[in-house]
Amino acid sequence: MDIRSQVKTHYWVRASPSDFGGTLPRPRSGHTAVNIGKSKVVVFGGLVNKKFLNDIIVYDIENRLWFQPQCSGSGSDGQVGPSPRAFHIAVAIDCHLFIFGGRSGGKRLGDFWVLDTDIWQWSELTSFGDLPSPRDFAAASAIGNRKIIMYGGWDGKKWLSDVYVLDTISLEWMELSVSGALPPPRCGHTATMVEKRLLVYGGRGGGGPIMGDLWALKGLIEEENESLGWTQLKLPGQAPSPCCGHTVTSGGHYLLLFGGHETGGWLSRYDIYHNDCVVLDRVSVQWRRLPTSNERPAARAYHSMTSIASRYLLFGGFDGKSTYGDLWWLVPEEDPIAKRLTTSPPKVIPANKNSPMANDSFISQDKENRAEGSLVSELQKRLEVSVSHTHHKLIVDELEDKEFTELASQVIGEKFPSKAVEALRHHWNKSSPRSIQLKELSPLLRDYQRLITRHHLDKIELKLQPVESGTERGTYRFYHLRNATKLRMDDIPSLLAEYKELLSDVEEN
């Protein structure tokens, strides 16, 4: 069979709390997530709400466990590990994770660290040779099992196009002098070693344009005796949009490009963020759109995407307004994770002010109700207010909520009599966030909203009033979500806690 025809359909599946043990990483963007062999993924640093981070969170692949190791070590200033930062580079060589540069506040960093992931010990390194200038938004990759190559970045004054190679044994940096055609200087790009070549894609260049060019650097493998040189590649197929802050992840015969952002054009004040998947087929040497058959994660940039066997794990990112903490799997159709999805994946309805919005069985099929629901959602979105008294018309009864009744039958282990409603609610009342399965989220959210509508409608206006910045919003924060796809993984504990509070209130009344 021609391997070029084997671009399999993939499915996006929001990670379930039952997928992982331990404490999940908190939301962030501009972090790094690096595979250490096939045993673990190490997440370092990042940025959330203008706060720069320097924590280490590890995903143990075999045990499906997130944990935060207790690291030792000392730097030149006596600190255990690197200072908080984002937009740095991180590359693994064997069990060692090398960190260089990044940004903290408005300062570009030029320090150099290594983490031994066998004993979780940081060391600040004194390097030699042609030292790179401090920078952020550079890109780097491993050459074999000894060297690291870094290209480009931003030093606070100019975009860079320099190429440095680090020997991780001698700790010597060497700037490569490349003649001939050169890529324009850039930052926010990706740099990926593919066999003998370094492939660089996209980024933001001098003057600020977002680029969509692909370049290959040859001559990096000493044994090949090739002269150093850049070549711009113009490949056939469905090329990705120009982008910055995207990821390129190697998986099998493909490089997978996901996310990133580009400028919205002359008439737009805002950047456009992407959530499409494009693969560079290394066999046929062309771009292909990865076929995905269900709803995708929200568009974002400065996220991480790691390859775990045939799966990809997406974490974090930023969309111009929000920092994400959600975790998503991208899996081939035969993967057991894909079996969680219903046989009829949700349709993605184009955004159109004249089209009613699907509501995950939440809105009645009656056309009038659907149109009303669309107007309410649009009003809430535009004015950033809650319109609570119209919302209760959209709530369906338990016995008419097919997904709710089917789940009750599965969880309770019997056909759905009226008493199974209370049995399912009792099940959720005793559940922990980690035990909630993906298939339970939609019915749980709708029952939460149902209880509010029936028993607390008079309190909603009070509970959902805007509050001063920096203070916690009241309960019922999920009342106006259209469906469970709008939930983030770190929302689940709060949703379940509010649901249990509602059940308690109902029993007391």
Q: What is the pLDDT of residues 26-35, one digit of tens each?
A: 999 999 999 9
The predicted model gives 348-367 an average pLDDT of 30
**Structure confidence at residue 465 (pLDDT):** 36
Residue 22 CA to residue 86 CA, distance in Å, equals 24
**Structure confidence at residue 310 (pLDDT):** 93
**Structure confidence at residue 415 (pLDDT):** 57
Give the tokens for residue 174.
């060497």
Q: Give, as one character, the DSSP assignment of residue 127.
A: -
Convert 408-442 into a string of H (helix), E (strand) and C (coil).
HHHHHCCCCCCHHHHHHHHHHHCCCHHHCCHHHHH
Give the tokens for residue 259.
């996310």
Percentage with pLDDT > 90 across the chain: 55
Q: Cβ–Cβ contacts within 10 Å for residue 84, how many?
A: 17
**Structure confidence at residue 400 (pLDDT):** 74
**Structure confidence at residue 65 (pLDDT):** 95
**Structure confidence at residue 399 (pLDDT):** 74
Q: How confident is the model at residue 351 (pLDDT cuts 50, 70, 90)?
A: very low
**Structure confidence at residue 111 (pLDDT):** 96
pLDDT of 236 strictly over 80: yes
The predicted model gives 73-88 an average pLDDT of 92
pLDDT of 382 strictly over 90: no
Q: Give, as one character, the DSSP assignment of residue 350.
A: P
| Residue 250 buriedness (CB in 10 A; 0-12 / 13-18 / 19+) | middle
Give the three-state DSSP class for 287.
Answer: strand
**Structure confidence at residue 387 (pLDDT):** 35
Residue 28 CA to residue 324 CA, distance in Å, equals 6
Which residues face 123 on adjacent strands?
74, 114
Q: Which residue has the higher pLDDT, 201 or 503?
A: 201
Q: How confident is the model at residue 356 (pLDDT cuts 50, 70, 90)?
A: very low
Interval 293-332: pLDDT, tens: 778 999 999 999 999 999 999 999 999 999 999 999 999 9
Tell me the domain boundaries of the chain: 367-508
The predicted model gives 430-442 an average pLDDT of 86
Residue 36 CA to residue 56 CA, distance in Å, equals 13
Q: Which residue has the higher pLDDT, 267 or 56?
A: 56
The predicted model gives 411-419 an average pLDDT of 62
Give the three-state DSSP class for 45.
Answer: strand
Interval 240-258: pLDDT, tens: 999 999 999 998 889 999 9
Residue 467 CA to residue 479 CA, distance in Å, equals 16
**Structure confidence at residue 28 (pLDDT):** 98
Which are the contacts of 304, defined by CB distance < 8 A and separation ≥ 6? 31, 32, 33, 43, 247, 314, 315, 316, 317
Range among 210-214, 269-273, 391-395, 504-508 with highest mean pLDDT value: 210-214
- 223, 379, 424, 444, 503 from 427: Cα distances, Å: 63, 36, 5, 11, 12
The predicted model gives 207-212 an average pLDDT of 83
**Structure confidence at residue 32 (pLDDT):** 98
**Structure confidence at residue 420 (pLDDT):** 74
Give the tokens for residue 193.
């070693």
Mean pLDDT (the chain, rounded): 82
Interval 152-206: pLDDT, tens: 999 999 999 999 999 999 999 999 999 899 999 999 999 999 989 999 999 998 7
Q: How confident is the model at residue 418 (pLDDT cuts 50, 70, 90)?
A: low
Q: Which residue has the higher pLDDT, 377 or 186?
A: 186
Residue 6 CA to residue 4 CA, distance in Å, equals 6
Interval 454-492: pLDDT, tens: 776 544 443 443 333 333 334 577 877 777 877 777 788
**Structure confidence at residue 380 (pLDDT):** 40
Give the three-state DSSP class for 496.
Answer: helix
Give the tokens for residue 17.
């709390």
Contact call for residues 226 and 249 (beta carbons, < 8 A): no
Q: Which residue has the higher pLDDT, 380 or 405?
A: 405
Q: How confident is the model at residue 342 (pLDDT cuts 50, 70, 90)?
A: low
For residue 216, what is the enclosing H or E element?
strand 210-218
**Structure confidence at residue 453 (pLDDT):** 79
Residue 32 CA to residue 76 CA, distance in Å, equals 23
Radius of gyration of the chain (CA): 25
**Structure confidence at residue 414 (pLDDT):** 59
Percentage with pLDDT > 70 across the chain: 81
